[in-house]
Structure 1
């Protein structure tokens, strides 16, 4: 599992131009089962994605499809974690 932290490196006006395309990208990643949770940071300096993919290289390929990446609007910090404990609601994310 991966935690992806996006930090905007462009003005919000430039980011806002690509929000509809970014949302479509997120929808597709959810449909494929790659993303489990996402949302914007507060204050609005970027966003966070929880991803469940088989490898870091697979994640890198997926992130390269993000319009924020393509348009150089955000930097991406990726942390891999191996969940060992969770709430009951998130138990399906614990790796066996």
Structure 2
């Protein structure tokens, strides 16, 4: 992963594109999500980096990741990444 500026890679219509490619969300309460956040090099591409994710976990994980990397210079390489499990609390 590499630190990037999400504003330079973000397009528009991600949710609309994801719906077209994967169908509508499973139910209310789901967001169109980037599997790999844009701020750490994820592509703004629904076919390779898009998924439906429950709104709660999606809306809390993005800011957590961004807050960890926001002070790092663009181009910083992250080669040791620890994923957290969401165990319901």
Q: What TM-score comes out, normalization by structure 2 length?
A: 0.29
Q: Which has the higher strand share?
A: 1
| Greater RCO (Cα-Cα under 8 Å, separation 6 or more) | 1
TM-score by length of 1: 0.27
